[in-house]
Protein backbone atom coordinates (compact mmCIF):
# COMPACT_ATOMS: atom_id res chain seq x y z
CA UNK A 1 0.00 0.00 0.00
CA UNK A 2 1.18 3.50 -0.79
CA UNK A 3 1.80 6.25 1.72
CA UNK A 4 -1.22 8.34 2.84
CA UNK A 5 -0.51 12.07 2.84
CA UNK A 6 -2.67 14.89 4.22
CA UNK A 7 -1.96 17.96 2.08
CA UNK A 8 -2.99 21.53 1.31
CA UNK A 9 -1.83 25.10 1.17
CA UNK A 10 -2.58 26.80 4.48
CA UNK A 11 -2.39 30.24 6.08
CA UNK A 12 -0.05 30.79 9.02
CA UNK A 13 -3.21 30.81 11.18
CA UNK A 14 -4.12 27.28 10.04
CA UNK A 15 -6.92 27.96 7.54
CA UNK A 16 -7.26 26.52 4.01
CA UNK A 17 -10.04 28.91 2.97
CA UNK A 18 -12.01 31.79 4.40
CA UNK A 19 -15.64 31.57 5.57
CA UNK A 20 -16.81 31.95 1.94
CA UNK A 21 -14.62 29.04 0.72
CA UNK A 22 -12.22 31.44 -0.95
CA UNK A 23 -8.50 30.62 -0.68
CA UNK A 24 -7.44 34.23 -1.29
CA UNK A 25 -3.65 34.45 -1.62
CA UNK A 26 -2.97 30.91 -0.31
CA UNK A 27 -2.11 29.73 -3.82
CA UNK A 28 -0.14 32.79 -4.97
CA UNK A 29 2.96 30.57 -4.93
CA UNK A 30 1.54 28.79 -8.02
CA UNK A 31 2.11 31.97 -10.04
CA UNK A 32 5.21 33.30 -8.27
CA UNK A 33 8.05 32.07 -10.44
CA UNK A 34 9.23 31.35 -13.95
CA UNK A 35 9.40 27.52 -13.98
CA UNK A 36 6.32 25.87 -15.57
CA UNK A 37 4.75 23.39 -13.14
CA UNK A 38 2.10 21.98 -15.47
CA UNK A 39 2.03 21.01 -19.14
CA UNK A 40 -0.05 24.03 -20.10
CA UNK A 41 2.51 26.40 -18.58
CA UNK A 42 -0.21 28.26 -16.69
CA UNK A 43 1.28 27.49 -13.28
CA UNK A 44 4.76 28.93 -12.87
CA UNK A 45 6.70 28.51 -9.65
CA UNK A 46 10.19 28.97 -8.27
CA UNK A 47 12.77 26.29 -9.00
CA UNK A 48 12.69 25.23 -5.31
CA UNK A 49 8.90 24.77 -5.48
CA UNK A 50 9.13 22.86 -8.76
CA UNK A 51 11.78 20.51 -7.40
CA UNK A 52 9.55 19.67 -4.43
CA UNK A 53 6.04 19.71 -5.94
CA UNK A 54 6.46 18.11 -9.37
CA UNK A 55 7.94 14.81 -8.10
CA UNK A 56 5.27 14.67 -5.38
CA UNK A 57 2.42 15.23 -7.86
CA UNK A 58 3.88 12.55 -10.13
CA UNK A 59 3.67 9.98 -7.29
CA UNK A 60 0.00 10.59 -6.43
CA UNK A 61 -2.34 7.84 -7.59
CA UNK A 62 -5.54 8.97 -5.88
CA UNK A 63 -6.81 12.09 -4.14
CA UNK A 64 -9.55 11.81 -1.50
CA UNK A 65 -11.80 14.86 -1.09
CA UNK A 66 -15.08 15.64 0.61
CA UNK A 67 -18.26 16.42 -1.30
CA UNK A 68 -17.93 20.07 -0.31
CA UNK A 69 -14.57 20.40 -2.12
CA UNK A 70 -16.00 18.50 -5.09
CA UNK A 71 -18.98 20.88 -5.27
CA UNK A 72 -16.91 24.06 -4.79
CA UNK A 73 -14.58 23.05 -7.65
CA UNK A 74 -17.43 21.79 -9.85
CA UNK A 75 -15.67 18.43 -9.86
CA UNK A 76 -12.80 19.96 -11.84
CA UNK A 77 -15.05 19.43 -14.88
CA UNK A 78 -14.46 15.68 -14.62
CA UNK A 79 -10.66 15.91 -14.89
CA UNK A 80 -8.74 15.17 -11.66
CA UNK A 81 -6.43 18.03 -10.60
CA UNK A 82 -2.63 17.97 -10.89
CA UNK A 83 -2.64 15.01 -13.29
CA UNK A 84 -3.91 12.59 -10.62
CA UNK A 85 -5.44 9.38 -12.01
CA UNK A 86 -8.49 9.13 -9.71
CA UNK A 87 -10.49 11.16 -7.19
CA UNK A 88 -12.48 9.49 -4.41
CA UNK A 89 -15.28 11.71 -3.12
CA UNK A 90 -16.62 11.13 0.40
CA UNK A 91 -20.34 11.85 0.25
CA UNK A 92 -23.77 10.71 1.39
CA UNK A 93 -25.28 11.91 -1.90
CA UNK A 94 -25.18 10.46 -5.42
CA UNK A 95 -23.07 12.05 -8.18
CA UNK A 96 -24.57 15.26 -9.61
CA UNK A 97 -27.25 14.84 -12.23
CA UNK A 98 -25.68 14.51 -15.68
CA UNK A 99 -22.26 13.52 -14.24
CA UNK A 100 -20.18 11.54 -16.73
CA UNK A 101 -20.00 7.98 -15.34
CA UNK A 102 -16.73 7.45 -17.25
CA UNK A 103 -14.95 10.27 -15.36
CA UNK A 104 -12.33 8.83 -12.95
CA UNK A 105 -14.28 9.95 -9.87
CA UNK A 106 -15.59 7.47 -7.31
CA UNK A 107 -18.38 8.45 -4.87
CA UNK A 108 -18.34 6.58 -1.53
CA UNK A 109 -20.01 6.90 1.86
CA UNK A 110 -17.52 7.47 4.70
CA UNK A 111 -13.76 7.76 5.15
CA UNK A 112 -13.20 4.03 5.69
CA UNK A 113 -14.86 3.24 2.35
CA UNK A 114 -12.90 6.07 0.75
CA UNK A 115 -9.62 4.69 2.03
CA UNK A 116 -10.46 1.15 0.86
CA UNK A 117 -11.34 2.41 -2.63
CA UNK A 118 -8.24 4.63 -2.75
CA UNK A 119 -5.97 1.73 -1.76
CA UNK A 120 -7.51 -0.42 -4.48
CA UNK A 121 -6.93 2.28 -7.11
CA UNK A 122 -3.53 3.61 -5.98
CA UNK A 123 -1.61 0.39 -5.53
CA UNK A 124 1.86 1.45 -4.35
CA UNK A 125 1.38 5.11 -5.30
CA UNK A 126 0.61 7.91 -2.84
CA UNK A 127 -2.93 8.46 -1.58
CA UNK A 128 -3.40 12.18 -1.06
CA UNK A 129 -6.13 13.35 1.33
CA UNK A 130 -7.29 16.94 0.96
CA UNK A 131 -7.02 18.87 4.20
CA UNK A 132 -10.23 20.04 5.87
CA UNK A 133 -13.11 18.10 7.39
CA UNK A 134 -12.46 14.82 5.57
CA UNK A 135 -8.70 15.13 6.12
CA UNK A 136 -9.32 15.63 9.83
CA UNK A 137 -11.54 12.54 9.92
CA UNK A 138 -8.87 10.44 8.22
CA UNK A 139 -6.24 11.76 10.68
CA UNK A 140 -8.52 11.01 13.64
CA UNK A 141 -8.99 7.46 12.31
CA UNK A 142 -5.20 6.97 12.45
CA UNK A 143 -4.87 6.52 8.69
CA UNK A 144 -2.50 9.41 7.81
CA UNK A 145 1.23 8.64 7.44
CA UNK A 146 2.48 12.12 6.59
CA UNK A 147 1.34 15.75 6.78
CA UNK A 148 2.46 18.19 4.08
CA UNK A 149 1.69 21.87 4.44
CA UNK A 150 2.42 24.67 2.00
CA UNK A 151 2.33 27.61 4.40
CA UNK A 152 1.46 30.89 2.71
CA UNK A 153 2.55 34.19 4.30
CA UNK A 154 -0.99 35.37 5.05
CA UNK A 155 -3.15 35.48 8.16
CA UNK A 156 -6.71 34.29 7.58
CA UNK A 157 -8.63 34.97 10.80
CA UNK A 158 -11.44 32.45 10.36
CA UNK A 159 -12.79 29.93 7.91
CA UNK A 160 -12.04 26.32 6.99
CA UNK A 161 -9.40 24.74 9.21
CA UNK A 162 -6.56 22.62 7.82
CA UNK A 163 -7.36 19.75 10.21
CA UNK A 164 -11.12 20.32 10.20
CA UNK A 165 -12.83 19.77 13.55
CA UNK A 166 -10.14 17.53 15.08
CA UNK A 167 -10.30 17.84 18.85
CA UNK A 168 -7.82 15.21 20.06
CA UNK A 169 -4.07 15.64 20.24
CA UNK A 170 -2.08 14.12 17.37
CA UNK A 171 1.70 14.26 17.58
CA UNK A 172 3.90 14.72 14.53
CA UNK A 173 7.61 13.95 14.25
CA UNK A 174 10.08 16.79 13.70
CA UNK A 175 9.82 18.20 10.17
CA UNK A 176 11.62 16.04 7.60
CA UNK A 177 11.47 18.74 4.96
CA UNK A 178 11.53 22.53 5.24
CA UNK A 179 11.81 24.32 1.90
CA UNK A 180 11.39 28.00 1.20
CA UNK A 181 9.87 28.91 -2.15
CA UNK A 182 8.47 32.17 -3.48
CA UNK A 183 5.42 33.06 -1.33
CA UNK A 184 5.45 29.66 0.43
CA UNK A 185 7.20 27.63 3.12
CA UNK A 186 6.89 23.88 2.59
CA UNK A 187 6.75 21.64 5.65
CA UNK A 188 6.61 17.86 5.73
CA UNK A 189 6.04 15.79 8.88
CA UNK A 190 5.57 12.11 9.60
CA UNK A 191 2.67 11.30 11.93
CA UNK A 192 3.98 9.89 15.19
CA UNK A 193 2.68 6.39 15.83
CA UNK A 194 1.87 5.22 19.34
CA UNK A 195 4.12 2.40 20.57
CA UNK A 196 2.34 -0.96 20.48
What pLDDT, in 10s, does the model give residues 96-126?
999 999 999 999 999 999 999 999 999 999 9
* CA 47 – CA 49 distance, rounded (Å): 5
* Phi and psi angles of residue 15, each rounded to the nearest 5 degrees, phi first: -110, 145
Q: What would be the CATH architecture of the domain defined by 5-190? A: 3-Layer(aba) Sandwich (3.40)
8 Å CB contact between 162 and 14: yes
Mean pLDDT of all residues in 121-146 = 96
Q: Which residue has the higher pLDDT, 146 or 81?
A: 146
Q: Which residue has the higher pLDDT, 70 or 82?
A: 70
143: pLDDT confidence band, cut at 50, 70 and 90? very high
pLDDT given for residue 2 in this prediction: 86
pLDDT given for residue 196 in this prediction: 53
pLDDT given for residue 193 in this prediction: 81
DSSP 48: H
Mean pLDDT of all residues in 77-98 = 93
Q: Is the dihedral of CA 36, 37, 41, 44 positive or negative?
A: negative
Give the list of residues 6+ apart from residue 39 with CB closer than 8 angstroms, or none.
Answer: none
Does the pLDDT at position 160 exceed 80? yes
pLDDT given for residue 195 in this prediction: 61
- All structural domains of the chain with their residue ranges: 5-190
- How much of the chain exceeds pLDDT 90, in percent? 89
Write out pLDDT tens, residues 3-45: 999 999 999 999 999 999 999 999 999 999 999 998 888 899 9
144: pLDDT confidence band, cut at 50, 70 and 90? very high
Write out pLDDT tens, residues 39-71: 888 899 999 999 999 999 999 999 999 999 999
pLDDT given for residue 49 in this prediction: 95
150: pLDDT confidence band, cut at 50, 70 and 90? very high
* CA 35 – CA 46 distance, rounded (Å): 6
Give the list of residues 6+ apart from residue 41 with CB closer than 8 angstroms, or none.
Answer: none
Amino acid sequence: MGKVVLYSSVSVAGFIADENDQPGPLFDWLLSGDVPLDEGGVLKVSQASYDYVRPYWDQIGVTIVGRHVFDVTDGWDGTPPSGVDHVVVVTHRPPPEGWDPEAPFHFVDGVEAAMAKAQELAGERIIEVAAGDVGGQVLAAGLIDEVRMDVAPVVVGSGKRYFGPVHAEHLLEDPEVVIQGNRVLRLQYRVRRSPI
